[in-house]
Structure 1
Amino acid sequence: MHLFVNYNSYKEPLLNSGLMTHELLKEKISTITNQKKIEVKIAGYSAQHREIYQLSVGRGPIPVMLWSQMHGDEPTGTRAFFDLFNFLQADDEHNDFRQLIFNHCTLHFIPMLNPDGAELNERRNAQGIDINRDFLQQQSPEAQLLTRLHQQIQPAFGFNMHDQEALWSVAGTKQPASISLLAPPADDLALVSPSRLKAMQLVAGINGILSSIIPGYVGKWSETFEPHAFGDNFQRLGTSTLLIEAGGYPGDAERQFVRELNFKILLYALEQITTAGYQHHSITAYHQIPQNVKELFHLLIKNVILPTPAGIIRVDIGLNHSHSFDAVPLQHQALYAIQDIGDLSTYNAYQTIDVQGYEFAHALSLGSLANFTVIDALNNTYSFQNGQLFFIRKT
C-alpha cells in the first residue's frame, strides 16, 4: 500500500531547510492539536525546561514507540514524522490503509527528544551529555524521560531515528550510505533474541524496498554492542528496536530526498507490523546488507603535482566540509579543510576535480582550511580562500 502513496501530498512544506528549532516544532504541533486523530501532550521537559512532546494515534494492541532528534543536530527523522502526521490525519483514498494501522497499532511519537541541542544545532544536550550514551547513568532529564516512556508504553517495536555523517559509504560500492539500518544487538555476542529476530526481519524487508529505489546506497551499522545506548538496551528489554540513520545522497545537501525515504520506510514498516509481513523475511537477507565504511570525501582533487622537501610527487587531495550539512544554511558557504593527501584512487567523492598534472607552488598542510587555486583540464579555475570555494568557469 505504501508504494502507492504520493509523498508530495503529505510533505510538510515549512520544514524544507534550515534548523529544526524547538519553536518551529511547537508551531507545527499547535496545528496538530486542532485535529482529532492525534493526541498531543507534554511528556516532560529538557534540561533547560523546553517541552518534550508525545504524540499518540491508533487504538490497536501493538504499541509502537518512535523517537527522533535525541542528537540535536539530526533533524531528518523529526521532519519525516511531521510528513507522516499529515498522512495519518488525511481523509482520502488511503483511508483503508490508515484504519489498518489504527486498528492494529497504537503509535507513540517523541519528536525532538533533545530540544536544547536542537536550538544550538549541537549533538549533545545542555548538560553536555550525549543522550544516546546515558542509558546507564540516567543523568539527563531527557534520558530519564525516554526510559520512563518506554516503561509506560512497553512498546513491541521501537524506531530510533538518527542522521549520520554524509561521509559514510556502502562497502563495495563507494557510494554514500544514504540510509543505514541496524537491528541493534542486545549483548556482546549479538545473539538473535526473539525481539531482535523481528527487528532483523523488518530491517531485511526495509532493505529490499530501498534497494529497488536507491540500489547501492543502503548500508548497515556495526553490530558492536553498546551498553550505554538506548537502542541496544531496549532490544535487551524485549522491544524489537530498529536504528534508522539518514545519510548523504548526491545533490541532496538538505536531505529532502532522504527525508522522503524516511517517510516511506516508516509507512512500509507500519504496514509490515500490522500484517506481520516481516515474518516472511530472513535474517540471511539482513546479514547480506553491506556494512557502513568511510570511503568518501566531499571533494576530491586528483592528479596534483606537489613539491615536498624530498622532491616532487603526484598526489590526490581529499577535502571535507568543516561543518555538517545542517550548518550550511547558517554559514551560507561550506568551509573545506584538507583531510588527506596521497594516493586516494580507491576513494570516491560527491565532487571530483581532475587537474591532470596541475603544479602547486607550495606544500599543503593536513587539517588546515584550503587556501590554494587549481585549474582543471578545461581551464576552469577553483579558488579556495580560507576554506571557501570560488568557481570560475572558462568563458
Structure 2
Amino acid sequence: MRLPCLFLFLIYFKHGTYVSCRFYPSSQLMNSEIHMEHDAYRESLFTNRFIKHQILKSKIGHIQSQACFKVRQLGSSVQQREIYQLTIGTGKIQVMLWSQMHGDEPTGTLAFFDLFNFFAADDQHNAFRKRILDNCTLHFIPMLNPDGAEVHQRRNAQGIDINRDFLKQQSTEARLLAGLQQNIQPEFGFNMHDQDTLWSVSGSKKPATISLLAPPADDEASITPGRLKAMLLTAGIYQVFKKQIPGCIGRWSEEYEARAFGDNFQRLGTSTVLIEAGGYPGDFEKQYARKLTFDILLYALNQISTQQYAKQQLSQYHQIPFNHKELFHLLIKNCQINNDDSNFTADIGLNYTEIIDLEHHKHKKIYTVADFGDLSTWNAYDVFDADGWAMATSLSIGEKPTLKIVDTQGNILVMDQGVMV
C-alpha cells in the first residue's frame, strides 16, 4: 500500500544542522579503582571497525616479543589464516576470553588489543594489574573467525555460523574453541559479540549500548553453581556501569540455545558471561563501545581476582532490563499529511542498511521506510520534528525514499533513493 503524498519541512538549529538526539552526557567511571585512561592503552593500529587479519597478525608478532605474554598459534581457519592464543598471568583462576567468532562483530577484538597494551605497561596501575595476573591466568583468542572478518561477514568461509556449531563442530574454528575449553577447563569465560544497533533497552527507549547475559545451561534456565557465579559477576558489572550509561545496558534473551558455545560452556561448568556491544549516538565506528568493553573487562577481571563478585545479590542480576526493539535509526515526527481523503498527523520511522566497500575503505547508509503512523512510543538515534509542516511525496513501507527536507530558514537536507546527500 502506498502512503499519501508528503512534503517535508523540519525544524533546524540556527546553524543549519538538524536535531539529533544525544541521550547521554559524558561521565567518568564511578569506581576510581577501575578507572583507567583508555586512550593511554588504545591500540593505534585499529582506528575503525574493519580489522584485517594481516594487521592483527603483525601486531601479535610484536606482542610475541614481550616476555609477559605467551603466544601460540592455536590453529588455522578454513582459508588457512592463523588463529592465535595469547596467555598472560600466573594465577590459579583460569579465564578464557574469545572474540569475533562472528566476523563482522569486532568490538571485542579491539578491546582485547587495548587490554594487551594495558597488561604490558609499566605505570601507576602496576598494583592493579599485578593483582589480576597473580590471581588469574588469562587466555585470549582474538578473532576466532578471520575468514569472516576479512570480508566483514557473520559466517566463516564454509558459510557456517560458528556460534551454532558446538554440537557437530563441522568448522575448524568451532573445534579449536571447544578443544581449548576442554584443555584449560577455565573457571570463567567471556564470550564477546556485537549486536544490531536497533536493539534498545526495555523501559528506556535508549540504545542497548551494552547487553549482558549469564547464558542458561539448559531449557529450564537452571541456576547451576557455575551459572550462579556468572550471574553474580554480571550483576556487579550492571550495578557499576548503569551509572556511566544509564538506561543503555540491557539483558539478552535467556532462551537456551543448545547449539551455542556460551550455553554449552555454562553447562560444562565454565562460568560464562556474554558481552554484546551495541549502538550509541555518534559511535558509528564503535569506538565508545570499545572503551566501555575495555572498562567492563578490567572491572570483571578485578572482581574475579579478588572474588568480590560473590558479594553481589542474585536479585541484582534480575534487575537488568531485557533488550527490546523500540528504536529507529531516523524518526520524522509530526508530519502533516494532506490528501484528497483526509488530513492527519503521522510519524515516519526509517532504518538503514550498511553497504560496505572494503577494498576502498568506504561504506554508506541506505535508509528504508520501516513504519508509518503513530510512533510516539518509539525513539531514534536521530529525531526530526516536522512540527506540523505539510509533506508531499509518495512513500511505502520498505521503500528507499527520495525526500527534500527544508526548514523554516531554507536549509535543505536531501535523501536520494535512501541515501543522505
Q: TM-score, normalised by structure 1?
A: 0.94
Contact 1:201 1:281 in 2 (8 A): yes
Q: Which amino acid aligns with 2:192?
A: M
Are positions 1:341 and 2:372 aligned together?
Answer: yes
Shift of 1:8: 1.4
Q: Which residue of 2 aligns with 1:270?
A: 301
In the alignment, the residues of structure 2 paired with residue 309 and residue 52 of structure 1 have an alpha-carbon distance, to the nearest angstrom, of 63
The amino acid that maps onto 1:353 is F
Alpha-carbon spacing, 1:308–1:116, altered in 2? closer, same or farther (3 Å): farther
1:204 aligns with 235
Q: More deviation in 380-389 or 164-173?
A: 380-389
The CA deviation string for residues 104-139 of structure 1, in whole angstroms up to 9 with x for no partner, is 111100000000000000011111111111111211
Q: Secondary structure at the match of 1:334?
A: strand
Q: CA deviation at 1:192?
A: 0.6
Aligned residues: 389
Q: How does 1:231-242 map to 2 (within 5 A)?
A: 231-242=262-273
Residue equivalent to 1:129: 160
Relative to 1, partners in 2 of residues 1:91 and 1:324: Cα closer, same or farther, differing over 3 Å?
A: farther
| 2-structure distance, mates of 1:104, 1:324 | 45
**1:2 CA displacement:** 4.6
User: Deviation per CA, 1:341-378, whole angstroms, max 9, x where unpaired?
Assistant: 11111110111111123333333121121212223455
Q: Secondary structure at the match of 2:255?
A: coil
| Cα deviation code 1:249-304 (max 9, x no counterpart) | 11211111111111111111111111110000011000001110011111111122
**C-alpha distance in 1 between matches for 2:165 and 2:338:** 49
Q: Percent identity?
A: 57
Unaligned runs of 5+ in 1: 391-395
Which residue number corresponds to residue 31 of structure 1?
62
Kept in 2, the 8 Å contact 1:73–1:326? The answer is no
2:405, 2:412 within 8 Å by CA — same for their partners in 1?
A: yes
- Return the match for 2:348 from 305, 317, 326: 317
Q: Partners of 2:178 and 2:355 in 1: how far apart?
A: 29
1:3-18 maps to which residues of 2 (within 5 A)?
A: 3-18=34-49
The CA distance in 2 between the partners of 1:70 and 1:121, in whole Å, is 12
Partner of 1:393: none
The structure carrying a bigger helix percent of its residues is: 1
State the one-letter code of the partner of 1:53: Y
Match of 1:67 among 75, 98, 112: 98
Is the deviation greater in 256-265 or in 310-319?
Answer: 310-319
Counterpart CA distance in 1 for 2:280 and 2:42 is 19
Structure 1 stretches of 4+ with a deviation exceeding 6 A read 324-327
Classify the secondary structure of the residue corresponding to 1:145: helix
Asked whether the equivalents of residues 254 and 325 of structure 1 are also in contact (C-alpha less than 8 Å), the reply is: no
Q: How is 1:218-257 mapped onto 2 (pairs within 5 angstroms)? A: 218-257=249-288
Letter in 2 for 1:299: L
Rounded Cα–Cα distance in structure 2 between residues aligned with 1:103 and 1:340: 54
CA distance in 2, matches of 1:346, 1:204: 29
Give how far 1:380 is off: 3.2
Shift of the 27–238 alpha-carbon distance from structure 1 to 2, 3 Å rule, reads: same
Report if aligned partners of 2:336, 2:390 keep a CA contact under 8 Å in 1. Answer: yes
Counterpart-to-counterpart distance in 1, 2:232 and 2:66: 34
Is 305-314 or 285-294 further displaced after alignment?
A: 305-314
| CA distance in 2: counterparts of 1:362 and 1:57, whole angstroms | 60
Q: Choose which of 140, 143, 161 in structure 1 pairs with 2:171.
A: 140
**What residue is the counterpart of 2:114 in the other structure?**
83
Question: Using CA pairs below 8 Å that are at least 6 residues apart, which structure has the higher relative contact order?
Answer: 2
Quote the Cα distance in structure 2 between the aligned partners of 1:260 and 1:2: 16
Structure 1 CA distance for aligned equivalents of residues 364 and 396 of structure 2 = 22
Give the CA deviation at 1:326: 10
